[in-house]
Structure 1
Amino acid sequence: MASPPSYEEIASEHREIFADGRDPKTPQRFSIREEVDASRERHVAAIVTKLVPLIRGRAKSGLSKSKLILFPSDQECSRKGELIGFSDAEIPIIIQLESRHDTTEFWMQKEALGQLQDKILAAILDISPPPMPERLQPKRDSLPNKPSFFGRKKDRVLGQNSNLQPSKATVIVEVKQDEIYFRKQSEFGLLETGAGNVVVLSIDVQ
């Protein structure tokens, strides 16, 4: 039968653990903030992949302005009634979000709104296209200009993705949380006005 480890061996092992910054009760260190940031970014990116085809479709129709209204999953737009407060020239596209993560609480975060704005603008200007599979990527020495789906060319500048909306940009993207109003008929036949908290995405190609 093997003898138990000595006090010196146990003390030495614990000194090594704490020297590495590891918690002996936790097998793997992680940052809650990093977890939140990574999860939020993945979710916003998934929403962007659903919105870009709608924006692209309007661009192909020659429409320079688009307004999208995103209803959080805890608010159902089908039960709201008739949307009011918008002119015939700016009728918005209404999108009902369905994921359990797409709650009003999630979209109240300014970080989520900021990421949505940056990723939509990047997708429109084609600054950061999704990478091709490695086996299909052609070998090239330089990165040529690539036209966006609006017909403009955007120069690629490596290492400068932090400011995606320069002062001379031809595309303006605005994302904000807002309160919009609906008119519906009550069970007594009276017209009533209700409100809902939504995410409004405005795009203007100048």
Structure 2
Amino acid sequence: MEYSFKKLALVGFVTWMFVGCNASRVVTPLEEGEWRIGGAVGGPTVNSSRLPLMSVYAAHGHTSESSDYLGLALTSLGFQTVQMDVGRLTRLLPQDGWRPELNANFGGNLFLGLRDGAVRSYPHLGNQLVWKRGRFLPYMGHETWIDPTYRLVDNQKGSLIHPSLHTGLRYVGKRIECGIEAKWLNPTRTFVIPQQTVPTLFGSGASGIYYTLAFRLP
């Protein structure tokens, strides 16, 4: 019984660390046929303790209106867990003057425990508002994760819905893309992970800064 509790607590902790903890892979559709290979570093701060996260990803311009991406979280490998995220970003409305471009993002996240082979998956969906100013792309948006196994974590008081808010700036050059993004995780609720109570956005919250770099491949 004690082993099962510790196992669930560890799974809950690792899951919380990486639920929505990646910077946005793609904020606007790539050119059709274009590839981008990149990575992100950063992480949320929980009550003055920073969680350092690293990830790599690849994105491809499926059409001029949609792009696909696949990411791998490197830090989770230290917890003997493989985490991958896959999704598609689609343009719903183009930019018109000061009216921003509106994009929709949907996909899923897969967790695979290397110790016991346990598998967990989390669908996600969100929106992005993007203003194109030359090579600069200021943006803001939200993303929501859905946890089908929410009753197994957080002392059986987990949440089915895990929202996050983010805003950032990308620079898209001829060969590289770089950016910075601020993100707030679960801003609507207070929850507990091992040895830390994470308050809502109005407290110190689980907010973080991320830095991104990608190479553009024709």
TM-score if structure 1 supplies the norm length? 0.29
| Larger Rg over CA atoms | 1
Higher relative contact order (CA 8 A, sep 6+): 1
TM-score (norm 2): 0.28
> Which has a greater percent of strand?
2
